[in-house]
Amino acid sequence: MISNLLGAIPLVGDNILILLWGGFSVEGPTLKRFFALHFLLPFIILIFSALHILCLHKYGSSNPLGVDSVDFIFFFPKYVSKDVFCFIGFYGFAVL
């Protein structure tokens, strides 16, 4: 099982493995934890992605070079349409 890789960490690997498994072998608690993780993780990623886009919309992206530019591209029409197009294209190929 892939979780056995945590046992290879020096000094604390076995303790992390027992904590992750909920015992000394893969049984009911392990399966419940992994099911909960696999169920909740997409929602957590969705929330953080939405927060990221909201912050980009409110504050804009950074300007690490410090170049003053009069060319300003608004987030809504340009980037939202590009993201929607890529989303539809990606999932259109995923369905095939």
Burial class (CB within 10 angstroms; exposed 0-12, middle 13-18, buried 19+) of 21: buried
Kindly list the domain boundaries of the chain, sorted by start residue: 2-68
Amino acid found at 11: L
Averaged pLDDT for residues 66-90: 79
13: exposed, middle or buried (Cβ count in 10 Å: 0-12, 13-18, 19+): middle
25-40 confidence digits (pLDDT tens)? 888 888 998 899 899 9
The pTM for the full model equals 0.53
Task: Tell whether the model's pLDDT for residue 95 goes beyond 80.
Answer: no
pLDDT in tens, 38-70: 999 999 999 999 999 888 777 777 766 666 766
Instruction: Determine contact, residues 17/4, Cβ cutoff 8 Å.
Output: yes
